[in-house]
Structure 1
Amino acid sequence: MNRLTCKTTDCLPAEDNKLDAERQTNGSMGQSTTVRRQRTYKWWLLMTIYTFFLLAGQSVATLLGRLYYDKGGNSKWLATFVQVAGFPILIPLYYLSSYKSANSNITTNPPSVLVLSGMYSGLGLLLAADCLLYSVGLLYLPVSTYSLICASQLAFNALFSFFLNSQKFTPFIINSLVLLTISSTLLIFQNESTGSTQVSKGKYVIGFVCTVAASAGYGLMLSLTQLCFQKILKKETFKVVLDMIIYQSLAATLLILVGLFASGEWESLGKEMEGFKLGKSLYVNVLVWIAVGWQVFSIGAVGLILEASSLFSNVISTLGLPVVPVFAMVFFHDPMSGIKVISMVLAVWGFVSYVYQHYLDERKSETGKV
C-alpha cells in the first residue's frame, strides 16, 4: 500500500531523480544566461550611446570654442558661461525620466535636501573653476595642443580614483598613465600661433598651466561624481544622470554669472558681437552650439560614470584625442609639428593600453562565471 500511494517523484529510481534535477538546474541556468545576455546587450547599447554623445559633444564644442576666439571673441567669462549654461535643453528629458521613475516600483531612501544641496553646490563650484581654466587654456593655445594636453586628465583621474574609488592599478594601467603624462608634457617645449594671432611665450605657459590645472580639476570632479553615485545617490537611472548634470550646472552657471558681471566683461559683449568676423547671427549660433555640445558631452560623460566608472569615462574622452587635432589642422590650419605627432602617438598608445586592460578584466569576469 505504501508503494502504491507514494508520490511519483518519490517512486522514481535514484538515477531518474538525479536526471530530473539536472534538467531543472539546466533550465534555470539557461533562463539566467538569457537574462544575463539581455542585460549585457542593453548595457553595451547604453555604453555605445553614451560614448557617441561624449565624443561628438566634446569635439564639436572644442572646435567651436576655438572658432569663437579666432573670429573676434575675447571674453573668457562668456566662453566659460556657455560651457555650463545649456542645461535648460535637458529639462524636457528630465520630466520624461521623472514620469517613468514615478511609474516604476523602485523604492529607495533618498538623501536629505541639505545633503543634496551641499553635494550639487560643491560640484558646481568645482565645475565653474574648471571651465574657467579650460577657457583660458583654449584662448592661449592652438586647439590641437590644447586637446592633447587634456589627455593628462586621465592620469589625474587615475590618481584620485585610487584614493576615492578604490581603483586598482595594473601594469597596463600604469603604462597608460605614464605614456599619457609624457604625451602632454612634451608640448611645453614648443611655441605656436593660435589661429592668426601669435602669442608670447609667457601666455603660452599660462595657457599650458591652466589647461593642466583644469585637467587635474576635471579628473577630481569625475572621481567625486562616482563617489556621490556610490555613497549618496545610490541609484542607477537616467533621471539620476540628469539630476547630476542639471543641478551642478545650475550652481556653476550662477557662480560664473557673478564672475562675468564682477569682471566687467559684460560691458564689452555688445561691441564684441558687432566686431565678430562672421556676423552677429553666427556669433549667437556659435555660442548656442557650444552650449549644446557641452551638454551632450555631459550626458555621455556622466552616463559612462554611472554605467562603468569615472576612469572609464575619462578613457573614452581620451579616445577623441586624435579627432580634434586632425580637424583643427583642416579647419584652423594648426601646424602638425614633429613633437605634436609624437605626443599624439604616445597618447593613442596609452589609450590602447588601458582598453586592453579593460578587455582582460572582461575576459576574466566571463571565465569566472558558471
Structure 2
Amino acid sequence: MEPQVSSRMKKILLIINSIFLAVGICGAPLIIRLYFIKGGKRIWLSCWLQTVAWPINFIPLAISYLYRCKNNNNNNNNSSKLILMTPQIFMATIGIGILQGFTNYSYAYGIAELPVSTSGLLCSTQLAFTAFFAFIIVRLKFTSYSVNSVFLLTIGAVILALHSGGDQPEGESKKLYILGFIMTLAAAALTGLIFPLVELIYKKAQQAITYTFVLEFQIVYCFVATLFSTIGMIINNDFQVII
C-alpha cells in the first residue's frame, strides 16, 4: 500500500516538478534551435534528446520504493510491490510513448525550420487542441476563462499564418518554412491529444493514482519514445556521426 503523503510534502513535490517543467519548457526550444543555428542537421538526434534522460526518474522511484518498504515494515505489512502498474496500463502507456515519439519528431522538425518565437507561439496552441480533445475524450466542461484563452491563442496562430513570410529565416525556402509550420502545429495537436489520453488512462486505472504510479508511467512512456527515436537514429546513421 502506498503511504499517505503529507500536505506539506505534496506542495514541495508540486513546486519541484513545476520548476523542472518551467525550465524544460523555456530552455529546450532555445537549446534545440541553437543546435540548428550552429549548423546541426540531425533532427532524429534532437528528437532523441527530448526524452533520453528518462532513467533519472529511477532515483525518486527508488526512494519511493524504499519509503514504502519502511512504512510497511513498521506496520508489519510485507505486501510492498516493486511495480504498481498493471499489464493493461502498461500496454496503454506504450501507445502513449509511440505518440510521444511522433510528437518529439514533429517538434524537432519545426524547431529546425522556424524561429523560436514562431514555434513557441504555434506550440502554445496545444491548449486549444487539449481543450478540444479533452471535450471529446474525457468530457471536459468549458469555462469562460478556458474559452477566452483558446480563442486568443487560435487567433494568434491564424494571424501568424497570414504573415508567415515575415519571420522566414534568411536562405530558407518557402516550402521548408511552411513544412516546419505544419509540423509544429502537428506537434501541438499530438500534445493536445496525449494529455486527455493520459487523463483517460488514469480514470480507467483500477488502482490509486499515486506519485509512484505516475513515475512508473513516465518511465515507460519516455523509454518507448526514446526507443522510437533510437530506431530513427539507427536508420538515419546518426550514431555514426556522433561517434
TM bucket normalised to smaller: 0.7 to 0.9
Deviation at 1:68, TM superposition (A): 1.0
Once the two structures are superposed, the pairs formed by residues 184-263 of structure 1 within 5 Å of their partners are 184-188=157-161, 189-191=163-165, 192-194=167-169, 197-232=170-205, 234-263=207-236
CA distance in 2, matches of 1:54, 1:251: 20
The equivalent residue for 1:94 is: 61
* 1:61 partnered with 2:34: no
* Structure 2 unaligned spans of 5+: 1-5
CA RMSD in angstroms, aligned pairs only: 2.4
TM-superposition CA deviations, 1:100-133 (whole Å, max 9, x none): 23344698995642x1331121011001000000
Secondary structure, in 3 states, of the residue corresponding to 1:236?
A: coil
Letter aligned with residue 50 of structure 1: N
Identity of aligned residues (%): 31
Return closer, same or farther for 1:50/1:256 CA change in 2, 3 Å cut-off.
same
Letter aligned with residue 153 of structure 2: L
Return closer, same or farther for 1:95/1:200 CA change in 2, 3 Å cut-off.
same
Letter aligned with residue 148 of structure 1: L
Secondary structure, in 3 states, of the residue corresponding to 1:84?
A: coil
Letter aligned with residue 152 of structure 1: T
TM-superposition CA deviations, 1:256-304 (whole Å, max 9, x none): 111111233444445xxxxxxxxxxxxxxxxxxxxxxxxxxxxxxxxxx
The answer (yes or no) to whether the contact 1:111–1:233 under 8 Å persists in 2 is no
Letter aligned with residue 49 of structure 1: I
Deviation at 1:238, TM superposition (A): 2.2
Deviation at 1:161, TM superposition (A): 1.1
The answer (yes or no) to whether the contact 1:101–1:239 under 8 Å persists in 2 is no
The equivalent residue for 1:140 is: 113
Letter aligned with residue 69 of structure 2: A
Letter aligned with residue 24 of structure 2: G
The answer (yes or no) to whether the contact 1:149–1:185 under 8 Å persists in 2 is no
The equivalent residue for 1:28 is: none
CA distance in 2, matches of 1:108, 1:166: 35
Deviates more, 1:244-253 or 1:97-106: 97-106
Letter aligned with residue 92 of structure 1: I
* 1:83 partnered with 2:54: no
Name which of 169, 172, 178 aligns with 2:151: 178
Letter aligned with residue 75 of structure 1: R
* Structure 1 unaligned spans of 5+: 1-37, 271-370
Deviation at 1:251, TM superposition (A): 1.1
CA distance in 2, matches of 1:233, 1:154: 28
Structure richer in helix, relative to its length = 1
The answer (yes or no) to whether the contact 1:157–1:220 under 8 Å persists in 2 is yes
The count of aligned residue pairs is: 229
CA distance in 1, matches of 2:211, 2:64: 7
Larger Rg: 1
Return closer, same or farther for 1:122/1:104 CA change in 2, 3 Å cut-off.
farther
Name which of 154, 158, 161 aligns with 2:127: 154
The answer (yes or no) to whether the contact 1:120–1:247 under 8 Å persists in 2 is yes
Name which of 90, 93, 98 aligns with 1:117: 90
CA distance in 1, matches of 2:155, 2:80: 45
Letter aligned with residue 105 of structure 2: L
The answer (yes or no) to whether the contact 1:151–1:181 under 8 Å persists in 2 is no
